[in-house]
A and B are shown apart, each in its own frame.
Chain A
Amino acid sequence: QVQLQESGPGLVEPSQTLSLTCTVSGDSISTDTYYWSWIRQPAGKGLEWIGRIYASGSTNYNPSLKSRVTMSLDTSRNQFSLNLHSVTAADTAVYYCAREREVPAALSVYFDLWGRGTLVTVSS
């Protein structure tokens, strides 16, 4: 059974970097079958896609966050990571990692498996 688990600090100071890791068990992140994404959700609000990383290490980021986001892979640990720089209180949210699938020939993607999420609070 494939599982995703987020980990990282629950509290980050303003202007610092938010760093989270997603550990994937039961599947290899090196496969080309899936992509690996981060999604966040402020309390009481909707979902916001942050970006994805492919097995090759290539990335796509939400244009609204692109200037502050970097993602990376650690295939030896079967993990992928998110760094969000220069955070403010507006970045306080539950952060989810998710497995993403593409619909062949349709240029369409969706999320078939999610981690349980981790709350990150930006505060001094």
Chain B
Amino acid sequence: TQLLEQSPQFLSIQEGENLTVYCNSSSVFSSLQWYRQEPGEGPVLLVTVVTGGEVKKLKRLTFQFGDARKDSSLHITAAQPGDTGLYLCAGDSGYSTLTFGKGTMLLVSP
């Protein structure tokens, strides 16, 4: 069974701070996706990383895929209250279904 471990599980910070959340696995994935989920809603795709060592930027969010394609990180610069939500990583083993981590709940206070 492929497992994705996310850390930290919960993060509470002040507006303007920087943060990094991690997603680690002992398995290799063909791609890894990051989602954000708000209460009462389904997850929304933020980014897909495919190549080992790949770095993608989405405004204040920077995503990195490990060289071995087993781990990933999400860094947020100058967090804003609108960034509050559950951040989920999900691995695609190539069979079209996703394995999700438990998520990191981020709370950004004004």
Same assembly: no
List chain A positions with a Cβ less than 8 A from chain B: none
